[in-house]
Structure 1
Amino acid sequence: MNRATLTLLALLLICALSLVAAQQRARKLFVALERAQIEERKLSQEWLRLEYEQRNLSKSARIRDVARNQLHMVPITPDRTLYLKEAK
């Protein structure tokens, strides 16, 4: 074999190996992308669940129930109201 054939064969081998390496990198990146998309879907579902829970916890009826039952608060009545007058 002459020198040009050996050179072309070496270049062909280098190109083939770089192609295999590039395909392997592409596969790894694709797998990482798929994992990231799955994680994104999970986080999106968790976010929607948390928003729903926040809406339920912030409803006025729930706040009123917590205020009465846990904090033992009662509504204001006129006989319990103390009116102050400003001194002039």
Structure 2
Amino acid sequence: MNRLQVILFVALVLSGLYMVRVSYEARRLFVEVERAQAEERQLETEYEQLQVDKRAQATPLRVEKVAREKLAMRTATPAVTHYVTHAEAAPAAVSGAASGEGGR
């Protein structure tokens, strides 16, 4: 009987140590999940704020203002329009226009 009691005692101690280890690991994983969820909430909030900023930056009036001020762009008018033709395409376009085969 003494030998059986020792074996049972060792099994009890080992199972107790295993239970403590599993409980510790479960707590550690739970804390890690909570941290990940908190980070997810923070990233979602930051993403939403960036989307709001993006929409605010992309309004047509703001884009036009930046184009005028920083890029020195201006509205296209017939007075400032320059037409560029390709050297090889120009003779074909002229011959096509002469024969009545316009590009329209």
Specify the TM-score bucket, using the shorter chain as the normaliser: 0.7 to 0.9
SS at match of 2:75: coil
Q: CA RMSD in A?
A: 1.9
- What is the Cα deviation at residue 73 of structure 1? 1.5
- For structure 1, the 5+ residue unaligned runs are none
Q: Which residue of 1 aligns with 2:38?
A: 38
- For structure 2, the 5+ residue unaligned runs are 85-92, 96-104
| Structure ID, larger Rg | 2
Counterparts of 1:40-55 in structure 2, within 5 Å, are 40-55=40-55
**For residue 38 of structure 1, what is the amino acid of its counterpart?**
A
Aligned length: 88
Q: Which residue of 2 aligns with 1:27?
A: 27
- Compared with structure 1, are the counterparts of its residues 12 and 80 closer, same or farther at alpha carbon in structure 2 (3 Å cutoff)? same
- Compared with structure 1, are the counterparts of its residues 32 and 83 closer, same or farther at alpha carbon in structure 2 (3 Å cutoff)? closer
| Cα distance in 1 for residues equivalent to 2:12 and 2:24 | 18
Determine which structure has the larger helix proportion and give its number: 1
Q: Which residue of 2 aligns with 1:17?
A: 17
